[in-house]
Chains A and B, each alone.
Chain A
């Protein structure tokens, strides 16, 4: 029996690989297993090698694994590209149709299952993916009946016949492998706790969080890996009176969001690097006009078009500095799908409380990686709108037909925000430097006061919970590992192995990038002999940011990976060992 194992399905894009993974994981999630799924795909509709790797466990998992136990292959390429990941007694379930062979030096066992032939017998060749699911669950010791509900839900609208055929395909796939079971190593899963949890990608959680936060308008331009956010919201928003506008470009998206927020609606946009580059001027407008705006950046491989479907974390400094001039801006970086949900809600609160743009920084592995999430808590949804004057509030008449002081100088730098449509609330809004009523002003005295006012809003820190996630029990640590976004689970796993060897390792995962939580990071760095900053980029952007804010440059070591793939636990483990043994990497 296994406490955890990894399963991967691969083939040509468009062969039903995604739905095989989807169906298997949905059924396992409902049985109470913890899952983490990661898709490897290309920037094309059909063709090209694609695979989905799913880690299945009786305990929480937040990372892909180094090893692979079961590989399901629809073509020889899948075997050639992935067999090296297999454990010694791993299994390859491959379609007999292409006469699969095992590459030299791989000790895994190959079972040729007639996926296509069985599917054709059932009545539809494309059901070969369901035959593969069946073959897989025979190994995992999961009964065919566990799929009944999922298959019914998925295919009900196509009729009972299609449902039956799919179930038949799964059953026959399972039966085929069953006959070989006696000679195979044990891959049966230990029973799970049976608890009901959610299984979602980071983008699902961001979209759900936005809806729960009261966002009712999204304006966006499709781009990998952020489109799921708009696709989810366009399905759900109509029930809540809202909508998604697919704009002509990202500049229209962000400016529409600024217009909607100016009008009093919580609105967001989401994009990736290329889109964020286009939005930078308008983000400055939001800062200058003190208009709330929530912008999601699901980082992917850059620069330019870069690696559109691959993991990278190379937009950190761009998110901080890309806008010309100086504005108050908040950048937060959730590190799990669960945090994506709660942090998105917070992003809307922060945007309205501090009246400035808020960037939610995600990355491809977090946005598209699918993970188990403990049931979300309705009572944790809090809506705080700061100094917003609601549309139904009556304002006193203004003396001498003066304008409303929308940009009034206040102690905390934040002024009352009145919405268009409000009587006695007239004021001007402009990206030009302006006075307290919003009228353009070039006065040097006013200019300095206005700059100070805007920048002072974030000066004393912001009201964001848990700016650094800490797993740091050692007062004197051999090593502190720092990361952000999707690497949290991978770092945690590497750390577990190091700790098991008696090394003292702390982990700080930075969730608030701007304003930078200098004190917390400094305190942790002081406790450690060495600091390894793990980030998916080449130039060490987070490392630079830490140097700039905290200092202690002599302790800092940057560990970058920028080949398009997420870190594996072993890679981080090895680097840490190297650093601890040799003092450098």
Chain B
């Protein structure tokens, strides 16, 4: 059986020392091993940005696509081969700016994949511009006078569009992070995991210390019930979205694959693609 070390490869990440993404990488590798997966069972599809490089750092199948489009690539892959564990990953710019349309529709569609957003509230790879997750007033190279646009609240957004699994964690809590990734992968249907993954170079506000002071773990809230959507929404609003753990899970919602008429358990990629003479004749007859 594979251990988390089997999911490591020889490539040295080009992230800055102290980058939150290192923990996300480690948590992913642990989660895969804990779930008993083998490297060839896993495919990571990532976007563009510092965090988008993550698909190249896991010893598994990896597809590093174009900016903002990890989700449709991942959904296409999962529909092609439902035996694979497909994880999409990228930054907050990738998922909530250029790719926001896909995020909303991937949630609606509910294909059984897991989406991990490494949320550092800034654009890192392009060297420090504002992101849709930057707070009002946040100063960057593109907002020298401070951002004048409201930040997106991804967890509330996900609940609103009908997500079946919504979780949040932080790079400094490897244990919880590993656990929510495991739960996200186990969840049948689309799972969204937002990870506060500090950028030590371009975000001097939302630092490890800042998160330590401001984040509340849902496990500390007495009576918190992740199956209660109202409670989830209320709690997020009460804490300005700064909570960690599984925020909401609907175990009853069927994944997309289960709702496709005629869709088989056997992956499409393994099925015979030839049509028979009888089938051909029947199809041709409808044009007569």
Q: How far is the CA of A440 from the CA of B54 in the complex (A)?
A: 12
Cα separation A378 to B281 with both chains bound (whole Å): 8
Contact B66 A265 (CB under 8 A): no
| Most A CB within 10 A of own CB, among B72, B74, B271 | B72
A212 to B284, CA, bound (A): 11
Question: Are B105 and A260 in contact (CB-based, < 8 A)?
Answer: no
Complex: how many Å from CA A262 to CA B41? 14
A240–B77 touching, CB < 8 Å = no
CB neighbours (8 Å) of A375 from chain B are 284
B221 an interface residue at 8 Å Cβ cutoff? no
Q: Which residues of A contact B45 (CB under 8 A)?
A: 259
Inter-chain contact A208/B77, CB cutoff 8 Å:
no
CB contacts (< 8 Å) of B62 on chain A: these are 428-430, 438
Closest to A257 in B: B76
B283–A211 CB distance below 8 A: yes
Q: What's the Cα separation between A77 and B78 when bound, in Å?
A: 53
Segment touching B, from A2-10, A243-251, A361-369, A463-471:
A243-251
Interface string of A403-420 (1 = CB under 8 A from B): 100000000000000011
Interface string of B105-126 (1 = CB under 8 A from A): 1000100000000000000000
Give complex CA distance A255, B48 in Å: 14
B176 adjacent to chain A (CB < 8 Å)? no
Given A198-B288, A241-B271, A378-B280, A259:B64 Cβ within 8 A: no
Residue of A211, A238, A260, A424 touching B77 (CB-CB under 8 A): A260
Q: Are A263 and B69 in contact (CB under 8 A)?
A: no
Nearest residue, chain A, Cβ from B262? A238
Q: Does A219 make an interface contact (CB < 8 A)?
A: yes
Alpha-carbon gap, A259 to B44, bound state (A): 11
Nearest CB of chain B from residue A82's CB, rounded to whole Å:
28
Q: Is A325 an interface residue (CB 8 A)?
A: no
Which of B11, B75, B84, B287 is the one whose CB lies under 8 Å from A198? Answer: B287
B81 at the interface (CB under 8 A from A): yes
With contacts A256-B75, A263-B84, A391-B269 taken as known, whether A285 is within 8 angstroms of B65 at the C-beta atoms is yes
Number of A-B contacts (CB under 8 A): 209
Contact B268 A242, beta carbon cutoff 8 Å:
yes
Within 8 Å of chain B (Cβ to Cβ): is A425?
yes
B72 and A256 contacting across the interface, CB-CB below 8 Å: yes
Closest A residue, CB atoms, query B269: A264
Q: Is B277 engaged at the interface, CB distance under 8 Å to the other chain?
A: yes
**Known A-B contacts A260-B80, A420-B77; A216 and B273 likewise in contact (beta carbons under 8 Å):** yes
Partner of A248, one of B39, B102, B271, B279: B102
B277 and A378 form a contact (CB under 8 A):
yes
Chain A CB within 8 A of B264 CB:
yes
Q: Identify which of B43, B71, B279, B281 contacts A420 (C-beta below 8 A).
A: B43
Across the interface, do A431 and B284 meet the contact criterion of CB distance under 8 Å? no
A416 to chain B, nearest CB (A): 15
Smallest Cβ distance from B12 to chain A, in angstroms?
11
Contact between chains at A251 and B55 (CB < 8 Å): no
Q: Is A450 an interface residue (CB 8 A)?
A: no
Main secondary structure of the interface of A (DSSP, over half): mixed
Given contacts A217-B268, A242-B268, contact A420 B280 (CB under 8 A): no
Q: How far is the CB of A410 from the nearest CB of chain B, in Å?
A: 22
Residue of A nearest to B277 (CB): A378
Q: Would you call A376 an interface residue if the criterion is a C-beta within 8 Å of the partner chain's C-beta atoms?
A: yes
Taking CB atoms, residues of chain A closer than 8 Å to B11 are 439
Instruction: Give complex CA distance A245, B78 in Å.
Output: 13
- Nearest A-chain residue to B101, judged by Cβ: A248
Whether B80 and A217, one on each chain, are in contact in the complex, defined by CB atoms closer than 8 angstroms, is yes
Q: Is A383 an interface residue (CB 8 A)?
A: yes
Give the nearest-CB partner of B69 in chain A.
Answer: A255
Query: Quick one: closest B residue to A424, CB to CB?
Result: B40
Docked Cα-Cα span, A403 to B41, in Å, equals 15
Q: Does A236 interact with chain B (Cβ within 8 Å)?
A: yes
- Contact of B63 with A262 in the complex, beta carbons under 8 Å: yes
Please name all residues of chain B whose beta carbon is closer than 8 Å to the beta carbon of A216 when the two chains form the complex: 268, 271, 273
Rounded to whole angstroms, the CA-CA distance of A213 and B283 in the bound complex is 14
A474 CB–B CB distance under 8 Å: no
B288 proximity list for chain A (CB < 8 A): 29-30, 196-199
CA of A216 to CA of B78, assembled, Å: 13
Partner of A426, one of B39, B105, B263: B39
A302 CB, nearest partner CB in chain B, Å: 24
**Could you write out 18 A-B pairs with CB less than 8 Å apart?**
A198-B288, A217-B76, A241-B262, A241-B263, A243-B261, A247-B105, A248-B101, A259-B72, A260-B268, A263-B78, A265-B79, A265-B80, A375-B284, A381-B280, A391-B270, A421-B81, A422-B40, A427-B61
The 6 closest A-B pairs by CB, nearest first: A259-B76, A263-B80, A214-B273, A238-B262, A264-B269, A256-B76
Seen from chain B, the residues whose Cβ lies within 8 Å of a Cβ on chain A are: 9-11, 38-41, 43, 45, 55-56, 59-66, 69, 71-81, 83-84, 101-102, 104-105, 109, 260-264, 266-271, 273-275, 277, 279-281, 283-284, 287-288
Q: A252-B102, A255-B73 given; name 11 further pairs at CB < 8 Å.
A: A214-B274, A240-B275, A240-B279, A241-B263, A245-B75, A249-B101, A257-B76, A259-B80, A260-B268, A265-B269, A426-B59
